Amino acid sequence: MTHMKWIKRLLTVLVIGFVLFYLVNQPEGAAAAVRGAASAVGNAVNSIITFFNALAG
């Protein structure tokens, strides 16, 4: 295994571990983070739709 693959795998495991730790220890905070991320995605989609509607109109 190359060094980059090893580093990528290590970082992936660390991120997943942090997410699980955060979810178990701060479930309300984790839920708020997911709601915030979903809201940001929704706002981005609405902005893209507005942009294309402005182009078409």
Which distant-in-sequence residues (6+ apart) come within 8 Å of 29 by Cβ?
A: 22
Name the residue among 9, 8, 7, 31 with its Cα closest to residue 19: 31
How far is 43 from 15, CA to CA, in rounded Å?
Answer: 26
**Which DSSP category does 1 fall into?**
-
pLDDT higher than threshold 80 for residue 1: no
- The pTM score is 0.64
- Reported as a single tens digit per residue, the pLDDT across 8-57 is 999 999 999 999 999 999 999 999 999 999 999 999 999 999 999 999 98
Name the residue among 47, 49, 23, 45 with its Cα closest to residue 34: 23
The residue ranges of every structural domain in the chain are 19-57
pLDDT higher than threshold 90 for residue 3: no
